[in-house]
Amino acid sequence: MAQLVTNPETQHHGEGPKDRTMILNMGPQHPSTHGVLRLVLEVDGETVLRMMPDIGYLHTGIEKTYEAKFYQQCVTLADRMDYLAPFHNEMGFVLAVERLLGIEAPPRAQWIRVLLNELQRISSHLVWLGTHALDIGAMSVFLYCFREREDVLRLFEAIGGQRMFTDYFRVGGLALEAPLGWFKRVKKFSDTFFERVDEYEDLLTGNPIFQERTKGVAHISKEDATALGLSGPSLRGSGVDWDLRRDMPYSSYEKFQFGVPVETSGDVWARYLVRMREFRESNKIVQQALAGLPEGPIKADAPKIVLPERDKMKTQMEALIYHFKIVTEGFSVPAGEVYQAIESPRGELGFYVVSDGTAKPYRVHVRGPSLANLQGLPKMCEGRLIADVVAAIGSIDIVLGEIDR
Amino acid sequence: MPLAPAVTDLEQLKSRAPLDALLGWGPEAVQGARLDRDELTIDVLREAIRDVCEFLRDQQQFNFLCDVTCADWYPTEPRFHVVYHLLSQAKKLRVRLKVKVGAHDAVVPSLTPIWPGADYFEREVFDLFGVKFDGHPYLRRIQMPDDWEGHPLRKDYPVEGYR
């Protein structure tokens, strides 16, 4: 990493007199890099000539650790990659393993998963909006966003026991039934949330300073965005109408009606508008999930994979044996490989899981959308001002925990 | 829903559009194919991977490279299976390409001339597995420090303790 600065090939850019340019380090401790991202910029005055992202500061070897854990233990690890959207990580991993096993979660579990995923999308976008606005200079939005985010996290705490790393999804269903009155609390939050989004829009959308800072800034074309592998709101902001929830549905998403916001201008403003409209679409899905939530079990009927109910385990010999076997030996998964992609708040989150027939995965690879989105950053920033870099980083909404894993 | 057995017979798999087109274009590039859990995997000859991807992108609408990764099947040979996940947004279809390379000859042509987005993914595979990508513009470690020894995701690299 240190070589980036000392390496002569990063010292000078081809254009212009060489002694005019300067290498500038941004991060890894810079507050607007949203984590521990380091950008090596070659600048001429205030113009960025070249940018080289440097990552790996948060590398924890989660993919290696997976290979030593039982499948049910892996869900906990999945939480810790994209720490702003743990439910999406759980969803991706759990769906991949379910497909390897050839089982499916019952409808009620699928709907609660969708409900939690959309609440998570709201909370993740709230962090994005707050910090993005803060970077650009709008201080107060942050406070409003975190007020609502706290509401969502309290809902997560009530259902999963933790504010963030809930570890609530299980292979074959969910850990527990939702507590009494939980859905009413969600309804109460969801009913007020449309007005809250109006509040954020009042603060930012019509604000001429915010518009000046975002319109036409950090542009990326449709072709470049596709070729660089951008996904999610960053891709939709460039005019590609693609959303995995609608186009390749998983976990009952085909039963929900929602719009996919697309903007064509490809700048920070477009990505802002896409995410603002996604707030409302996600909230619509939450309301539909609440209204049509099916009754029934939350765990699949697969005794060798899903832990038995507590009272059965205490009273029935068979259930006790299954419980003991699953906890001590895990469950074995037939050999094979799957790639399961879901739409996380940042884009296509893919889990490539390879099984060799044992109780531990042979290989798990996570296609983090942030990693691909980060590749678009130099394209967006080169030739623009340093101040625009800050706006651009916010607009691609990266999470370093997912980039480095 | 019980699992259907995997299909590996090329004749039976010809109903799958990308494989059929690929066999028509250059059958020598295809080393095998497998349909398992409704996912199509095509084993591709290493030397042909770049042409195959270009063909799939330009003729078969596989416009999006989702992912490049690798699995280490030590101690069997060929040890490294480099895996590419392609997506066609127009057809709503995925296909997995696989290139198998041995331990002493772990070099694969880079896909960066076709998809610049392959850049970080290939660097990651190089970093964590030690598979080299021929023609990559900046093949350096991306996750581990520059002076790190060894490639952590290889199977002969321990999970804990000292190497």
* Residue A376 resides in a domain: no
If you measure CA to CA, which chain A residue comes closest to B153? A64
Instruction: Find the domain containing A160 and state its range.
Output: 62-300
* The two structure tokens encoding residue A8: 């002569």
pLDDT at A280: 92
Residue A403 lies in a domain: no
pTM attached to this predicted model: 0.90
Q: Mean pLDDT of successive 10-residue segments in chain B (163 residues)?
A: 74 78 82 86 90 89 90 89 92 91 90 90 91 89 87 84 61
* Chain B residues closer than 8 Å to A101 by CB: 3
- Choose among A1, A229, A338: nearest Cβ to B39: A338
Of the residues A276, A300, A324, which one is the last residue of a structural domain? A300
Distance CA A78, CA A91 (A): 9
Give how many domains chain B has, as a whole number: 1
Query: So what's the pLDDT on residue A8?
Result: 45
d(CA A68, CA A76): 13
A74 touches chain B (CB under 8 A): no
On whether residue A241 sits in a domain, the answer given is yes
Q: What CA–CA distance (Å, rounded) separates A129 from A144?
A: 10
CB–CB contact B3 A102 (8 Å)? yes
Q: Tell me, what CATH number does A84's domain have?
A: 1.10.645.10
Q: Which amino acid is at A144?
A: Y
Q: What is the Cα–Cα distance from B80 to B29, expressed in whole angstroms?
A: 18
Same domain membership, residue A168 and residue A38: no
pLDDT attached to residue A315:
92
Q: What per-residue confidence (pLDDT) applies to B137? A: 87
Q: Are residues A232 and A178 in the same domain?
A: yes
Test A367 with B119 for CB contact under 8 angstroms. Answer: no
Tally of structural domains, chain A: 2
Asked if A122 and A176 sit in the same domain, the reply is yes
Tell me, what amino acid is at B24?
Answer: G
Task: Check whether residue A95 and residue A156 sit in a common domain.
Answer: yes
Say if A342 is an interface residue toward chain B (CB within 8 Å): no
Whether residues A261 and A232 share a domain: the answer is yes
User: Do A47 and A162 sit in the same domain of this protein?
Assistant: no
The answer as to whether B161 is a domain residue is no
CATH number for the domain harbouring residue B85:
3.30.460.80
Q: Which SS3 state, helix, strand or coil, does residue A118 take?
A: helix
Q: What is the ipTM of this complex?
A: 0.92
Q: Do B89 and A348 touch (CB under 8 A)?
A: no
Q: Which residues of chain A have pLDDT under 70?
A: 1-19
* Cβ pairs bridging A and B (under 8 Å): 103
Helices A268-291 and A386-396: crossing angle in degrees, nearest 10, is 20
Nearest to A56 among B67, B121, B144 (CB): B144
In a domain, B149, yes or no: no
Residues A88 and A219 in one domain: yes
How much is the pLDDT for B5?
78
Q: Are A39 and A54 in contact (CB under 8 A)?
A: yes
Q: In this predicted structure, what is the pLDDT of residue A340? A: 92
- Residue A106 lies inside a defined structural domain of this protein: yes
The verdict on A45 and A85 lying in the same domain is: no
Predicted local confidence at residue A321, as pLDDT: 93
DSSP-derived pairing of the beta strands A173-174 and B30-36: unpaired
